[in-house]
Every structure is written in C-alpha cells, then in structure tokens.
Amino acid sequence: MKEYTLDCLGEACPVPLMKTEKKINSMEVGDVLVVQIDHSCAMKNVPEWARTQGYNVEIEEVEDGEWEVVIEKTK
C-alpha cells in the first residue's frame, strides 16, 4: 500500500478533479491518495466524484480554507 500526495494548492476548479482522476487511474488498488486543495469548489466535486466511484473518502481541514481529501482506491 502506497500513499501519494497531490499538490493542488492554488489550482481552481476543475483542475484538482482532473488531476485526481488521472492520478487515481495510475494507482494500484489499496493505495491512498492525499489531495491538497484550497479551492472551495474542489471541496465539493472531488469527494463527490470519488464517492460515486465507490472509493473511501475522508476530508480534513488542515488550515482555514485548506483541505486534504484522502481517497483510498478500494477497487
């Protein structure tokens, strides 16, 4: 199980989502991806996309207005 970090700080929607999609597709099942974002719109569509794919998702607010979306590729 590997953990990857994707730095999307300062990137506006939809860039974080598209980067996440690409990165997840290159990962093995069981790997974890941490997406760092600070765009409030990405806070909505990245977790929503990951959940509809059936992955486990957690959101953590690390700073005011800065989040880490933790996605586990479960399948």
Instruction: Please give the residues from 31 up to 70 whose contact with another protein meets the rule CB under 8 A.
Output: 32, 34, 38-41, 43-45, 48-49, 51-53, 56-59, 62-65, 70
- Helix pair 42-52, 15-25: axis angle to 10 deg: 30
CA separation for the pair 31, 2 (Å, rounded)? 5
CA separation for the pair 21, 71 (Å, rounded)? 11
41 is a catalytic site residue: no
Tell me which residues touch another protein (CB under 8 A).
1-3, 10-15, 17-18, 21, 32, 34, 38-41, 43-45, 48-49, 51-53, 56-59, 62-65, 70, 72
